Amino acid sequence: MTVSEEQVTAGALAEPPAGPRRSILTRRGGPNDLLRSALPLVVVIIALSLFTNSHNASFLTGDNIDNILVQSAVLGILVVGQTFLIIGGEVDLSVGSMVSFTSVLGAWMYTHGWSPVVVAVTLLVVGTGVGLLWGLLVAHVGVPSFILTVGGLGFFSSLALILSQNRPISVASVLGNLGFATWLGLPALAVIFLAVCVVGAVVLHSTRFGRQVFAVGSSEQTAFLAGLPTKRIKVTLFVVNGLLVGLAGIVQLARLSAGDPTSGAGLELSCIAAVVLGGAALTGGRGSMIGGLLGTLLFGVISASLVFLNIGGSWKDFVTGAVLIFAVTMAAASYKRGRRSTDTARTRRRLLSPATGNSTTRTPRR
């Protein structure tokens, strides 16, 4: 019995059964992956904190822990959005410049008589709008997100400098007081940061949309063949990231009580490093929100330790770069080990399966 080309083509183009779709939507980081990525970060954070505290006993006080959370708030909010993007197979390198621009825009609006509520809503809308634009260009036009957002980095950095005339714009009243407010016994900015992390973790790990993000990041083509709206998912990822960038701009403005055109410089690198340190794969399809949170806290502890150990601020960029190099190197090594073990397991299954071996060598009868 022969099989015609028409039958083969029809079989290849037929809609995949429900089984593969269910399996692709359950492809996400398991507890072993989470433990493997989170445990080293927890150990490093504790060890560094104890070391710094041994040289300065005020490091592990409640006030300093609150300060670390506040200092980490902007980066942490950005990490939540970047975690979604990187797991989905994309990246945004314009987040730092967008934080600078939105904080400067908010300060400029406030000093020109706009109310704090209008300022906050405007920054959220601007961030969301930029995210929507990036998403449409990436998903529907096919522009690589890396190249697109590098262009956005330069564009919004220059726009922030132009709008502020290359100097910080001070604000006061409600926006400035938010940086010193306390909610539920914690600094308000820390509460906002932790709330965003909790919501992000629930959406990523406990909803259908989160499972779709993992599926698209693992293999966009496979996800598409399984019936997932891959373009819409990617646009949504950029929109969510843009909304969080706008929120980060508000938090930055409240924390500094000023719109500084250079306040977001370097945040994009720290953001990516924190996500990758948390176990995310730059190739997409793997990562966790708790890992990103731990990566953020590690950067916060490092920055605070440099201050408490009286090490110059110029070392911060050096440490950030070193951590980024280490994170990317470890991620690449982990990816290669995973691929090697997967290929070995697949080869072993093929060798041990008599049906597979026979089917590849037997000539069909006519």
pLDDT tens-digit profile of 321-342?
777 677 667 666 766 666 666 5
| Residues 6 or more apart in contact with residue 103 via CB below 8 angstroms | 249, 250, 252, 253, 256, 259, 260, 263, 264
354 domain residue, yes or no: no
Print burial letters for 91-113: b (CB count within 10 Å at least 16), e (below 16). Answer: bbbbbbbbbbbbbbbbbbbbeee
Q: How confident is the model at residue 8 (pLDDT cuts 50, 70, 90)?
A: very low
Do the Cβ atoms of 278 and 288 come closer than 8 Å? Answer: yes
Ordered alpha helix ranges (H), 56-180: 62-87, 95-111, 116-136, 145-164, 173-178
In the predicted model, what is the mean pLDDT of the chain? 84
Mean pLDDT of 312-326: 73
Place of tokens 């590849």: 360
Taking 70 as the threshold, does the pLDDT of residue 363 lie above it?
A: no
Q: What is the pLDDT of residue 155?
A: 96
**Tokens of residue 170, six digits:** 């001070």
Q: How confident is the model at residue 313 (pLDDT cuts 50, 70, 90)?
A: low
User: Residue 246, CB half-sphere, CA atoms under 13 Å: how many?
Assistant: 20
Q: Helix (H, G, I), strand (E, B), or coil: what is residue 183?
A: strand
Q: What is the pLDDT of residue 17?
A: 45
Taking 60 as the threshold, does the pLDDT of residue 222 lie above it?
A: yes
> Of the given ranges (1-5, 151-155, 201-205), which has the lowest mean pLDDT?
1-5
Q: How confident is the model at residue 349 (pLDDT cuts 50, 70, 90)?
A: low
273 domain residue, yes or no: yes
The closest of 285, 222, 229, 247 to 84, measured between CA atoms, is: 285
DSSP secondary-structure letter at 93?
Answer: S
What type of residue sits at position 50?
L
Residue span of the structural domain in which 234 resides? 27-346
The closest of 225, 335, 337 to 282, measured between CA atoms, is: 335
207 domain residue, yes or no: yes
CA distances from 176 to 117, 119, 135, 253 (A): 13, 13, 32, 7
Over residues 351-361, the pLDDT tens digits come to 776 554 444 44
Over residues 263-275, the pLDDT tens digits come to 999 899 899 989 9
184 domain residue, yes or no: yes
Q: What is the pLDDT of residue 290?
A: 93
CATH number of the domain residue 37 falls in: 1.10.3470
244 domain residue, yes or no: yes
What type of residue sits at position 210?
G
Handedness of CA 253, 258, 259, 260 (dihedral sign): negative
pTM confidence score:
0.82
Taking 50 as the threshold, does the pLDDT of residue 102 lie above it?
A: yes
Q: What is the pLDDT of residue 178?
A: 76
**Tokens of residue 16, six digits:** 């995949």
305 domain residue, yes or no: yes
DSSP secondary-structure letter at 26?
Answer: T
Q: What is the pLDDT of residue 109?
A: 94
> Of the given ranges (86-95, 285-294, 314-323, 357-366), which has the lowest mean pLDDT?
357-366
Tell me how many domains the chain contains. 1
Q: What is the pLDDT of residue 334?
A: 64
Taking 90 as the threshold, does the pLDDT of residue 133 lie above it?
A: yes
> What is the rounded CA–CA span in Å between residue 163 and residue 165?
6
Over residues 277-309, the pLDDT tens digits come to 888 888 899 999 999 999 999 999 998 998 898
Place of tokens 């990758």: 276
358 domain residue, yes or no: no
**Tokens of residue 32, six digits:** 């072993």
7 domain residue, yes or no: no
